[in-house]
Structure 1
Amino acid sequence: MKYVLILLLFIAGFSASAQNYKTHKVKSGETLETISKEYLVTPFDILALNPDAKAGLNESMTLIIPNSKVKNNPIEPTTKSVIGYKKHKVKRKETLFSLSQQYGVSIDDIKRENKQLYAKPLQKGDKIRIPRYKTVSSQQTLTNTIKKYMVRPREGKWRIAYKFGITVPELEDLNPKMNEVLQPGDMINVPNIANNDEKAVEDDKYNYYTVLKSEGFMALNRKLGLTQDELEALNPELKASGLKFGMVLKVPANIQVNGPDEINGDMPELEGVNTTDLSLNIKDRSTKRIALLLPFRLQRLDMDSIAEVKDMMKDDRLLSVTLDFHSGALMALDSASKVGISTRLKVFDTKNRISEISSILDRNDFNSYDAIIGPFMANNFDKFAPEIQDTKVPLISPVAIPKKVYSNVYQTVPSDKTLRDKMLNFVKRDSLEQNVVLIADRGHSASVDILKREFPKAKIILSEKDKKSGKDNFFIYPTSLDGVFEDGKTIVFLETKNPALASSVISLLNGHNSGDKEIVLSTLNHNSAFESKDVDNYHLSNLKFQYPSVNRSYDDANPGAFVKAYEDKYGVRPNRYASRGFDIMMDVLFRLANTEGNLYEASSSDVETEYVENKFRYNKQLFGGYINEAVYIVKYDDLRITTVGQ
C-alpha cells in the first residue's frame, strides 16, 4: 500500500508539472474560498484536481492549483500602511462594528491597534486609537482563470452561465457579492475563455432548460422526451462533463419551458415542474396497504361516558390534534377511492409511549405494507425508525423532524435552514442592502449573524440588557428607531420568541409606517410570539408581515372540494392538522399509484405536488432519506394571510 501511495503522488506530481499547474501548501485558517481568490480560480477548479479537499482542509495538505490558458487584463493589487492614528472615546451603544463602519476600517484593524480588545469587549468610556492608512496600488498582469464581463441588456444569470459554459451555481461562486438581480452595466467575473468560445443564446431557434438537483438522463427523458444521445447532440459538452446541477441545456423549440425571468435572474424551468398533478397519470390501481401510527391514548378514555370523552377532547391538545389529523387522512382515502385507488388502512394507537412502540414492533410484521405514516411524536418516531429501516418500507414522518433521516424515511416538514434560505432569497430579490433593518433579542445572535452576512449594510438594533444582571430585558427604547427609516421601502427583520418584545416592536414600527416611509416586517422564524393576544393583527397587516411557512391557508372564498366535503361530514371547517392529514395521505397514495407501488421512484426532485394547504418536493440525501424542500412565503394582506412566493 505504501508503494501505491508513492506511485500516486509521483503521477500527481508529474501531471501537475506536465500541465503547468502550481502547488499551494495550506496554511492555518485558510479556506477553499480564500485560496481560490488568491489564485483567481474557482473552488470547483481546485476540487476537480484535489478531490480529498472535499472532506476539508488541513495544514499538512498540498493543493494542486490550475493555471489559465488565457491571460487577463492587468489588475492593480493594493497594499496599505499605517500613517497615523485618531483617538476615540467610546460612547454608549457604540460597538466595534459601528466604529469600523464610521471610520472605514475593519474590526481586525481596530483590535490590532488595541490589543486589550482581544481579551475583553468594548465598553463605554474606553479610550482607543483608530488607525489611518495609506493605500498603494501596483499594476500586475496575472495568469488566471477569470476575467471581468459587463452585463448586457436582457442578460440574467442563466444566459451568462450558458454563454461561458458553466452552471448557474458556478457563476454565483465566481461572484459571491453579485447582485441577485443583474443590471446592464454590472461588472462580474466569468471564465477567462476566448471570445470565439462563447456560446450564443438563440431564442428564435431553441428553448433552454436548467438541470435541477439530482436530475439524471432518465428523468430528463421522462420530462423532455429527449434521449441522452439527443441531448448530447444539442449540447456536446455533456459527453465530457455529464449532467450537473444548474447546467443550462439547449432543447428543441417545440419543447415548452417557462421563459427565463430576466428581471430577477431566475433560471428557466420546465412548464409544469413546479406543480405535478399525479391524478392524471395513475398506473397502479391495486389496493395499497398503509399503516398509520397515532397517539390516541385510548386507554385513558371511558367509552361508556360520552360527557367524559367530550371533556377530554376539549382539554387534551394532543388528542384533539390526533383526531383532526386522522379525520383528514380518512377523507383522503375516500377521495382516492373516487379515482380508483383503494386502500387497506391499519391504524395503531402508540399511546405516546416508547414502551408501546416496542410492543407494536414485537406484535406486527411491517414488511407487507406499501407505506407507514407515523409515529406522530418525535421521540416515538426516533424509536420506531431504526427498527423498521431494514424492511425498506417507506416511513413518513407527518409532523415531526426526526433526529436521523434513514434511507427509507420521508421528512415531510422542511428544515429550519430550508425555510430560512427561502425567505432570504425572496427578500434579496425584492430589496436593497441599505434598506434593511435587523431587530432581535439577545438570544438570536445566530440569526443576526446570518442576516448580517446577507445584508452587510443593514442597521442592527438589539434588545436592552439589564445593567446589573446582564440579562435580556426584551424591549427596545422607542428612540432607538429615530432616524432609522428613510423615505421609500425598508425591510425590517424581527427575530424573537418573546411575545412582549414582538408586540412592542410591531406597535413601534406601525407608528413609523406612514407618509413616504413604507416598512415591511419580515422574520426568518415565525412562532407563537407573533400570534400572541398582545400583537395587533391590524398592525401586522399594515406592515405586510411576511414569513416562510410549511403550509398556506386555503382560500375561504373558494375553499375547494375537500373543505366543503369536510364541513358537510363534520360540521366544521378543517384546521391545519386535518388538512395536513388529508394532504400527506393523498400524496402517499398518488405517488404509489403513479409508479406501480414504488414510492421511491415517484420522489425525484422534479416532482412537486400540492394539495389543500401543503406541498411536497423531496430531495434525496446522499447518505440518508428524503427531505421535503417545498416552502411557502406568506404575508398578511388586508387581515388575510396570502401566498406571495415559494
Structure 2
Amino acid sequence: MNKFFFVLCLVLVFSFSTVQAQNYSTHKVKEGETIESIAEKYLVKPSDIYALNPDAKKELRINSVLIIPKSKAAEPPKITVIRELDGFKKHRTKKRQTLFSLSQQYNISIEDIKKHNKFLYAEPLRKGDKLRIPIYKEIEVEEEDKLTKEYTVLPKEGKWRIAYKFGITVAELEELNPDMGEVLQEGQILKVPNIGDEEEAQVDETYSYYKVLPKEGFYRLKIKLGLEQEELEALNPILKEGGLKAGMILKVPYSNYADGTTGLGLERINLVDSIIDFNTKHIAIMLPFRLNRVDFDSLPDARKSIEKDPYLDASLDFHSGVLMAVDSLKTLGISLKVDVYDTKNELSRVKDIIKENDFENIDAVIGPLTPGNFEEAASELRKFNTPIISPIGTKLKLYDNVFQSRPSNDLLKTRVVNFVKSDTLLSNIIVISDAKHKEVSDDIKREFNRAKQIQSRKDKEDKDMYFVTRDDIQSELKPGKNIVFLETQDAGFVSSVTSILAASIQKENVLEGKEAIDIVLVTTNSNSAFEGDEVDNTHLSDLQFHFATMSRTYNENDNNAFVKKYADVYNVTPNNRAVKGFDLTMDVVLRLVSAENLYMSVKKAPLTEYVENKFAYKKKLFGGYYNNTVYLVKYDDLTIVEVKQ
C-alpha cells in the first residue's frame, strides 16, 4: 500500500512538472548575479521574477533556485479586439420588443443595455420606455501579459483608496512601490496588480471605509462596526475568497459604528456657509390637498371643507412652511424651481403624476405624506434614482432612494435609556406602567436589572383601573436621587402619578432628621397624555420631567426670524406642521446646493439643525437613509428646554 502511494505521488509530481515546464524554467543563482542581470538573461522583467519569487525581494542567496517565467520576447504579440464606447442612440420601446430582441438588433449584450438604463435592474421592459443604446467601435490592441500595470494617481487620492480599488492591502501597495512616499501626488505613476477594469472596486462616497487592524477577526469587527460576518462579506466579496487580512480596506455603511450615540457628538454644519452650486435646483412637493373635495361656492363653505378634511388641513400647514422656505432660499441667491402636486391621497393619482411628468431630472421629491402613497412614489422613482424624502413616516420601506426624516420611536426610547445610563451617581430606578405598557416596563427592567416595577391596579374582572396608591409609590422611593419611568398613554394615570410623585419630593431637614428625596421623571414615549388638561405642568416642572422628542418647540422669546415673518404673513404663529415644512425644505435644498447631490450631502453634512428639527442621516446597510438624531428636553420652570450633554 505504501509503495503504491509513493509511486502515485511521483506520477502526480512528474505530471505537474511537465505541465509547468511549458511556461516556466528554473535558474540557480551564482555569485555576483542580480535580479536585473538574471531578468536580462532570460528576456523577462525583474517584476516578473519577483512575482513568482517574493522572498527574492528581501535577499538573493547564492545557490538558491528561482522560478523564471517563459519570455514573451520571441513570440509575436497577441492582438486583442476591444470595444470602446462611441456614444448613444435613443430608442423608444415598441410592442413585443424584449431585452433579448434589442440585444440582437443592436449587436450588444443585455447587460450593456441594463448598464446604461439602470431602471431595468428593478423594472421590466415596457412599451414606450426611452432607452439609451450604447454604440461601440472596435479597436485592435497588442495584448500585454503582465502581472502589474501602471496606474496614475487621481486628485486627492490616497494609498487606502488605491489599495481598495485593486484588492490589496496598503502594505502590499507599498511593497510594489517602495519609493512611492508617504503622501501621494496627483499624476504620480504607481505599479498595481494587472486586473481588468471591470474588476476594480469603485470607491462609493456614500459609504465609509475601514482598515483592518492586526489580529482583528470578525468578532472584533462586529463589536466595533456592529456588522455580522455575512453583512461584511456581502459588502466585500473578497472576504469570501481570501478571508480577513491585516491592512485590507473594508467597505462599511457610512458612520456605521456601534456606539448608540443617536447623533451625539456630531458637529452641526451650517449649510448656508457651504453653498457651492448656484445652478437652478428642481424639487417637487407631493401632498394630499384633495382640492376636488373643497366647496368653493362661498368662503364659509370653503372654510368648512378645510376644517372637515384633516388631509387638506395638514397639507396647507406644511405647504405654508414650504413657501416660507422657498422665499428664504431666494434671499440666499439660490435659484429654485418647485412643482407642487395634489396626490388626492390616491395611489392611482401618484402613479399618474410620475408617469405624466419628467421626474428623472428632478433633484428631490418631498412627500407624499401617507405611507401607502409614499411607498408607491418611492418605488416608481427608484428607477430614476431620484431621492424622495418622507416628512412624517417612521416605518417606511427604505428603498435606496428613500430619506426618512422623522426619527423612529425606537430611537426616542434609546435616547432616554442612554440618558439614564449616563448618570454617574447610583440612583434608585422605578418603572411605573399600566397593563398595556407591561412589555415596555419589562424592557426597561432588562436595561436596569435593579429597577423596581409598579403596575397599575386592576379590578375584579382583571381590567386596568389606571390607578396606583400613594403607598405603592412611596414604599419604593429612597433618600437621594430617584429616577422614575412613567409608561402610559392615559392622561388620568399621568395626572394621578405625577401628583403623588410631586408631593413625595422632600428637602433635607437636619433638625427633623429628614433626608432629601429627589425625583426625576422620565418616559420613553412622550405622547398627548402628558400634555392633557388634567396634568399639572407645575408638577412636571417640579419633577424635572425628561423626554426625547423628534422636534423641540421653538421659544417665542428667541425672536426667531422665521416665526416673526410667518406671523406677519399669516397673522398666526406657525404650528409644528408648518415648521416641519420650513425646516425640511431648507435642509433638502441647502444639501443640494452644498454637495454633488442629496446622497453625497449625507457625508458632507453629518448634522444640520433649523427652527425645531435637526437631521443626521445614516444609511441602512442595504437600503436608504434614516434620521438618526433626536432632542432630549426637560421641563424647567414651566418651560421646555433642551438638555445639553
TM range (shorter): 0.5 to 0.7
Which residue does 2:9 correspond to in 1? none
The residue correspondences of 1:242-281 to structure 2 (distance < 5 A) are 273-281=266-274
- Are 1:529 and 2:529 an aligned pair? yes
Corresponding position: 1:289 with 2:285: no
In the alignment, the residues of structure 1 paired with residue 215 and residue 632 of structure 2 have an alpha-carbon distance, to the nearest angstrom, of 33
1:565 corresponds in structure 2 to 565
Letter in 1 for 2:339: K
Shift of 1:505: 1.1
Asked whether the equivalents of residues 325 and 580 of structure 1 are also in contact (C-alpha less than 8 Å), the reply is yes
Q: Given that residues 426 and 645 in structure 1 are in contact (C-alpha distance below 8 angstroms), is that contact kept between their aligned partners in structure 2?
A: no
Give the whole-Å Cα distance in 2 for the aligned partners of 1:369 and 1:424: 41
1:361 to 354, 362, 366: 354
Q: TM-score, normalised by structure 2?
A: 0.58
Work out the CA distance in 2 between the residues paired with 1:631 and 1:286: 32
Q: Indicate the residue corresponding to 2:631 in structure 1.
A: 632
Q: Deviation of residue 626 (structure 1)?
A: 0.2
SS in structure 2 at match of 1:633 = strand
Choose which of 419, 429, 432 in structure 2 pairs with 1:426.
419
Q: 1:213 to 1:594 in 2, by over 3 A?
A: farther
Matches within 5 A, 1:379-390: 379-390=372-383
Residue 363 of structure 1 aligns with an amino acid whose one-letter code is: E
CA 1:620–1:365: 2 relative to 1, 3 Å: same
1:434-473 → structure 2 map (5 Å cutoff): 434-468=427-461, 470-473=462-465
- Taking the aligned partners of 1:375 and 1:246, their CA distance within structure 2 comes to 27
Alpha-carbon contact 2:457-2:466 (below 8 Å) kept: yes
The Cα of 1:412 is off from its aligned counterpart by 0.3
- Given that residues 403 and 624 in structure 2 are in contact (C-alpha distance below 8 angstroms), is that contact kept between their aligned partners in structure 1? yes
1:319 is aligned to 312
Rounded Cα–Cα distance in structure 2 between residues aligned with 1:461 and 1:402: 31
Aligned pair 1:480/2:472, yes or no?
A: yes
Q: Which residue of 1 aligns with 2:402?
A: 409
Change beyond 3 A, Cα 1:240–1:405 = closer
- By how many angstroms is 1:455 displaced? 0.9
Distance (whole Å) between structure 1 residues aligned to residue 434 and residue 570 of structure 2: 43
Which residue is equivalent to 1:83?
Answer: none
Letter of the aligned partner of 1:298 in structure 2?
Answer: L
Q: Which residue of 2 aligns with 1:508?
A: 500
Q: Secondary structure at the match of 2:603?
A: coil
Q: Which amino acid aligns with 1:499?
A: A
Separation (CA, whole Å) in 1 of partners of 2:443 and 2:253: 25
Give me the whole-angstrom Cα distance separating, in 1, the residues matched to 2:435 and 2:287: 38
Q: Which residue of 1 aligns with 2:603?
A: 604
Cα offset, 1:475, TM superposition: 1.4
Q: Deviations over 1:509-535 (max 9, x none)?
A: 111123211111100011111111211
Q: Which amino acid in 2 is paired with 1:477? A: T
Query: 2:155 corresponds to which residue?
Result: none
Q: In the superposition, relative to structure 1, how do residues 455 and 245 fare at CA in structure 2: closer, same or farther (>3 Å)?
A: farther
CA displacement, residues 360-412 of structure 1 (integer Å, 9 cap, x when unaligned): 23433321211000001122212322222111000100112243110000000
1:209-220 alignment, distance < 5 Å:
none
Q: How large is the Cα RMSD of the aligned pairs?
A: 3.3
1:592 aligns with 2:592: yes
Query: Structure 2 CA distance, aligned partners of 1:491 and 1:501?
Result: 18
CA 212–560 in structure 1, closer or farther in 2 if over 3 Å, else same = farther
- C-alpha separation in 2, matches of 1:301 and 1:447: 43
Shift in alpha-carbon separation, 1:595–1:418, aligned structure 2, 3 A: same
Alignment partners' CA distance in 1, 2:375 and 2:260: 38
Structure 2 counterparts to residues 78-477 of structure 1, below 5 A: 239=247, 273-430=266-423, 432=425, 434-468=427-461, 470-477=462-469
| Bigger-Rg structure (1/2) | 2
Give the deviation of 1:463 after TM superposition. 1.1
Contact 2:474 2:504 in 1 (8 A): no
Cα gap change, 1:270 to 1:471, in 2 (>3 Å): closer
SS of the equivalent of 1:557 reads: helix
State how far apart, in whole Å, the 2-side matches of 1:277 and 1:520 are: 34
After superposition, what is the alpha-carbon deviation per residue over 1:281-303, rounded to whole angstroms, capped at 9, x for unaligned?
21111111111011111111122
The alpha-carbon distance between structure 1 residues 565 and 489, as it changes in their structure 2 partners (threshold 3 A), is: same
Q: Report matched runs for 1:47-58 at 5 Å.
A: none
The residue correspondences of 1:5-24 to structure 2 (distance < 5 A) are none
Q: Are residues 499 and 283 of structure 1, via their aligned partners in 2, closer, same or farther at CA, if it must alter by over 3 Å?
A: same
Taking a change above 3 Å as real, the CA distance of residues 266 and 607 of structure 1, as seen in their structure-2 partners, is: closer
Tell me the CA shift for residue 242 of structure 1. 6.2
**3-state DSSP class of the match of 2:446?**
helix
SS at match of 2:557: coil
SS in 1 for 2:633: strand
Give secondary structure in 2 for the equivalent of 1:399: coil
Deviation for aligned residue 1:586: 0.5
Are the equivalent residues in 2 in contact too, given 1:433–1:456 (CA < 8 A)? no
Q: What is the CA-CA distance between 1:496 and the residue it aligns to?
A: 0.8
How big is each residue's C-alpha offset from its partner over 1:581-617, in whole Å with a ceiling of 9 and x where there is no partner?
0110001001100124x11000128610001100001
TM-superposed CA distance for 1:240, in Å, is: 5.4
Q: Could you tell me how far 1:316 is from its partner in structure 2?
A: 3.8
CA distance in 1, matches of 2:297, 2:214: 75
Tell whether the 8 Å contact from 1:436 to 1:459 is kept in structure 2 after alignment: yes
1:288/1:342 contact within 8 Å kept: yes
Task: In structure 2, give the amino acid aligned to 1:536.
Answer: D
The whole-number CA distance in structure 2 between the counterparts of 1:313 and 1:166 is 61
Distance 1:501 1:483 in 2: 19
Percent identity over the alignment is: 43
In 2: Cα distance, 1:436 partner to 1:593 partner: 48
Unpaired runs of 5+ in structure 2?
1-212, 228-244, 508-515
Give the C-alpha shift of residue 354 in structure 1: 2.7
Partner Cα distance (1:431, 1:418) in 2: 22
**Residue 580 of structure 1 pairs with residue 580 of structure 2:** yes
Name the CA distance, whole Å, in 1 between partners of 2:264 and 2:452.
39
After superposition, the Cα gap between the structure-2 partners of 1:382 and 1:430, relative to the gap in structure 1 and judged at 3 Å, is: same
The separation in 2 between residues aligned to 1:293 and 1:213, in whole angstroms, is 36
Task: Decide whether the 8 Å contact of 2:215 with 2:246 is kept in 1.
Answer: no
Structure 1 residue 542: deviation in Å?
Answer: 1.2
Deviation, 1:270, is 12
Q: Cα gap change, 1:403/1:558 in structure 2, threshold over 3 Å: closer, same or farther?
A: closer
Distance 1:627 1:522 in 2: 25
Local SS of the residue matching 1:340: coil
In structure 2, C-alpha distance between the alignment counterparts of 1:471 and 1:315, rounded to whole Å? 35
Residues of 1 paired with 2:544 and 2:622: CA distance?
Answer: 40
Q: Which runs of 5+ in 1 are unaligned?
A: 1-162, 174-210, 215-236, 248-264
- Give 1:557 shift: 1.3
